[in-house]
Chains A and B, each alone.
Chain A
Amino acid sequence: MNEESFSQIFINASLVNNFVLAYFLGICPFLGVSGKIDTSSKMGAAVTFVMLISSMCAYGIHALLVAINAPFLQLISYIVVIAATVQLVEMFVKKMSPTLFKALGIFLPLITTNCAILGLALFQTNKGYDFLQSIVYALGAGAGFTLALVLIAGLREQLEFAEVPNVIKGTVLTLMLAGILSLTFMGFSGLGSN
């Protein structure tokens, strides 16, 4: 149904229309987490993983809802699946690697309200991607999210050594950095298309 190639989808999701810098999705954790490169990359990895799973589930749910003609249940079913996925990931991480679980701390449950994940599910449905396209889309979006997070974390780490007025420190500064980064990413426009 949707004519895009895999590379187009990936580049579009990660760079050209970066979920954080172009769509403003995933800002809550963005502002809270992005202080250190280390936590940022871990958060990014967790988000990418949840995106992947949610994307596949969303594809299945949408097909099911279309089949039983109940489009109005779309939002509720998506959000329930995302919450369940995050819960599962949390339990999985806790069992497999308690150290990682401790490091991520509160961030894991926070992923549920991460607009980026729900946004991913909704966008992919609207664009009519098939199963494989959806997976590539999820990977691209996750990669882009991680990239944005890590870049901002790097900038903020550097700025720790600078004299920043109190009124600007924290959120205001991060927002300004995000704005500049968003502009820079616009330079990617046209990348990956024929």
Chain B
Amino acid sequence: MKEQATIASSDSFKMLRAMVGIGALCGLIIVFIYEATLPRIERLRAEALQEAIFKVIPGITEMRSFSYQNNAFILADESDENVIYAGYDEKGEFKGVAIVAAGQGYADVIRFIYGYNPENQEVIGFYVLENKETPGLGDKIDKDPVFLDNFTALDVSLNEGGDAIKNKVTTVKKGTKTNAWEVDGITGATISSRAIGDIIATSTEHWIPIIYKNRTVFKNIENE
């Protein structure tokens, strides 16, 4: 009996030793690789984001990140949330801001970035960052040139009081667009194109009044 007990406890010891040993080894390997690849991954992500920002604000050569804290826009740090990006051309002139928005599409979350110009109160650019929509149908949202054209001059002007969007952005059936704040949908991809319209509507309702009110903050790039 005693021999059996000894064998049993050495078995449990072996099991424990194996699990803990392997667990520790695996943990170490993971942490090492994580730390080693982190700088490069962050650099790639920043580059991709920069590229996207440049796509949605035409004509810029530089950008600054701003985060909205305590009812004011300040230059953003790495870890800040609520960040938008201001773009400037080579003369240092402010050309617009880029805002990231996301929401549920047909298949999964759609993430995109759009440009906004406070001067003419329009959305001036649009670029899909992530989408898993149905290939051949919903995924046209990032390819269809007619659809993308909607976002070169989409009206998001504010009302008299400057605290809300005058006309909410809405997706309409393809070919029936009559107003500058409407988005011509994609035939066969109703849900995906409607999702884009809805996401922009929500995002602009939240951001545009704030950005427009504080638009002078972005202009002063020279004073740094």
Contact = CB atoms under 8 A, between A and B. Distances in A.
Do A and B have CB atoms closer than 8 angstroms in the complex?
yes
Interface of A: 2-4, 8, 16-17, 72-73, 76, 126-127, 189-190, 193
23 contacts: A2-B104, A2-B109, A3-B103, A3-B104, A4-B104, A8-B104, A16-B106, A17-B108, A72-B30, A72-B31, A72-B34, A73-B27, A73-B30, A76-B26, A126-B109, A127-B108, A127-B109, A189-B106, A189-B134, A189-B191, A190-B106, A190-B191, A193-B191
B194 to A, nearest CB: 9
Interface in B93-125: 103-104, 106-109
Contacts of B26: 76
Contacts of A76: 26, 30
B190 interface: yes
A23 B27 CA distance: 30
The 10 A-B pairs at the shortest CB distance, nearest first, are namely: A72-B34, A72-B30, A4-B104, A190-B191, A127-B109, A17-B107, A193-B191, A3-B104, A3-B103, A189-B106
A127 B34 CA distance: 23
A46 to B, nearest CB: 26
Interface in B152-173: none
A145 B34 CA distance: 35
Contacts of B190: 190
A3 B198 CA distance: 12
A16 B133 CA distance: 12
Nearest to A127: B109
